[in-house]
Amino acid sequence: MTRRLLACLITFGLVACATQPQSPSPPPEAATQPTGTPAALPPAASAMPAEAAPEAAAPTAPPVDLTPVPFETARANFVRDTAARYGIDPASIEATLAQAQFKDAIVAAMSRPAERVKPWNEYRPMFISQARINGGRAFLAQHRDELMRVQAATGVPAEVIVAIIGVETSYGANTGKYRVLDALYTLAFRYPRSGDPDKLEREVRRELFFRDELGQLFALAKEERLDIASLTGSYAGAMGLGQFMPSSYREFAVDGNGDGHRNLFSDYDDAFASIANYFVSKGGWVRGGQVAVPATLAAGHEEFNPADWTPRYTLAELSARGYHASAPVTAGATATPITLEASTGKQYWLGFQNYYAITRYNISKMYAMAVFQLSQAIAGQELPPA
């Protein structure tokens, strides 16, 4: 869960940093996602944006100082501000940062040019295969007791929790190979620059976002008594079975087994409960609610593509726009229309509050649909064609 980071599509250049002690609000793709790119995906797939997500456009944000700042100054400011913000000894921060290494591979991963946007029929197989379905069923069977306890407590179905872990880390088999310290240190102080003046503000904001995440990592280590230098994760700094960024770890992780720690790396009780808590607390998951149902668009009506995935439209409003559910829908439900480019043409769906909750994990409509359909397959339901 993060927040989940879309891979940046720019190349490495000179470091330019804002001078204010605290970073401004991160752009929405960072703020609404708990994780970095899924650690279980091959590099090309994980670096590729899932789609031109409507929510990727940044809202009006406070101005940011674009004046370049020397690395030594930016680093010293970071130590000072992190120590003051979280009550940590500056010498301890310095000692940890002395172990950090800039990694060209991380810069390269963030700079990798975008592939073309894949249609749904090409995107879904990256996440849903028979092997992944079988793996999910085996994982659910192995951890059924823990998962059912979380399902009973939160209302988030066990198969949805399992699908998230399957998509993010192949059920824990691939949680990332990079030291989290190196990933966040690299992106906090050497976030790649394209040299394009039109992209500079976004690049600076992204660097400041990662710098804040690096600070949050120190706070997390203090709270959970973690050895920062030993933590590994994705190239974006996401960690554990569910790939939480440090800020999401701090805000949404919970102690699922009552041992006094929130361990998302190897404690399944904590990981399952934390993923569910993210859906409930951040996404507003509705117990027993629907996720999505297929729909039709009546002839003579234009597609309706709202600016975000908020399910704010009544069924009557959607019907007036030509959208009709092809399966029973809970009375009084509100939804958002979803269009997917499938092998046989366009597919239409209606997404409800629980679909929106999955998009809080990753704002891609196709990611959310892949998680939903993988969960359905794990539960034994037949998948519609892609």
Tell me which residues are annotated as active site.
Answer: 168
- Cα–Cα distance for residue pair 240/165, rounded to 1 Å: 10
Angle of CA points 178, 6, 129, to nearest 5°: 80
Q: What are the C-alpha distances in Å from 235 to residues 47, 110, 175, 206?
A: 10, 8, 11, 14
Give bridge partners of residue 340 from the DSSP assignment: 347
**H helix intervals, 48-70:** none
Nearest CA to 171 out of 37, 271, 256 is that of: 271
Q: Which of 281, 287, 60, 269 is nearest to 157 (CA)?
A: 287
In whole angstroms, give the CA distance from residue 185 to residue 130.
Answer: 38
Nearest-angstrom CA–CA distance, 358 and 127 = 15
d(CA 59, CA 44): 28
Neighbour order of strands in the sheet with 292-297: 313-314, 334-342, 345-351, 292-297, 323-325
Cα distance between residue 361 and residue 359, in whole Å: 5
- Tell me, what amino acid is at 248? S
Within the chain, strands assigned E span: 178-179, 232-233, 292-297, 313-314, 323-325, 334-342, 345-351
Spatial separation of the C-alpha atoms in residues 181 and 26, rounded to whole Å? 20
What are the structure tokens assigned to 210, written together? Answer: 């990662």
Pairing of the two strands 334-342 and 313-314: antiparallel
Rounded CA-CA distance 166/138 in Å is 11
Alpha-carbon distances, residue 87 vs 21, 82, 96, 186, 225 (angstroms): 15, 8, 15, 24, 14
